[in-house]
Amino acid sequence: MSVATVQVPEVGNAVEAAIWFVAGQPGGARRILLEHHRRDDGQCAGCLTVPVSWPCVVGVIATRALSLDSGR
Binding residues vs Zn ion (CB under 5 A): 36, 44, 46-47, 56, 58
49, amino acid identity: T
Give 6 or 45: the residue with its C-beta nearer to Zn ion. Answer: 45
Give 16 or 35: the residue with its C-beta nearer to Zn ion. Answer: 35
Give 6 or 30: the residue with its C-beta nearer to Zn ion. Answer: 30
Phi-psi region of 9 (alpha: psi -120 to 50; beta: other; left: phi over 0): beta
Beta carbon of residue 55, minimum distance to Zn ion (angstroms, whole number)? 8
Q: How far apart are CA 1 and CA 68, in angstroms?
A: 11
